Amino acid sequence: MPWRPDPSPDADDPRPIGPAVDRFVRRFGGVRAATLDAVFSHWEEAVGASVAAHTHPLSLRDGTLVVAVDNPAWATQLRLLHGELVTRLAGVLGEGAVTRLEVRVRP
């Protein structure tokens, strides 16, 4: 069956993309777009200004948050703070959204 445009009168009106992204991501075992948005937009709030200055989130899948750090010393620091950071992230994102941190050095 060939693709046909939506015949409704509002078909050309802009629509939020979040629900469509959520359906797509869930279908492939990922997390909701709102959770990803919260990780990136509340990163400094969750980890603190000093940690955020040297780190940034890369991806979140199946509870594992991959975080980039700017040097090996910060990788060690994040590994030491693992439990505290997971707890802080749970406060911002909800319990179970992040259960594990994976740290990668990206100068």
Is this prediction's pTM over 0.75? Answer: no
Give the pLDDT of residue 96. 86
Q: How do residues 54-104 score in pLDDT, each as one tens digit?
A: 999 998 888 899 999 999 999 999 999 999 999 999 888 888 889 999 999
What CATH number belongs to 18-105?
3.30.300
Query: Which DSSP state fits 98?
Result: -
The pair of structure tokens assigned to 40 is 């990136």
- Work out whether strand 55-61 and strand 100-105 pair parallel, antiparallel, or are unpaired: unpaired
Question: With 0-12 CB in 10 A as exposed, 13-18 as middle and 19+ as buried, what is 85?
Answer: buried
The pair of structure tokens assigned to 12 is 């050309």
Share of the chain above pLDDT 90, in %: 43
- Phi, psi values for residue 57, rounded to 5°: -70, 145
Q: Taking a C-beta distance cutoff of 8 angstroms, is the pair 19, 28 a contact?
A: no
Can you list the positions of beta strands (E) in 11-91?
A: 55-61, 64-69
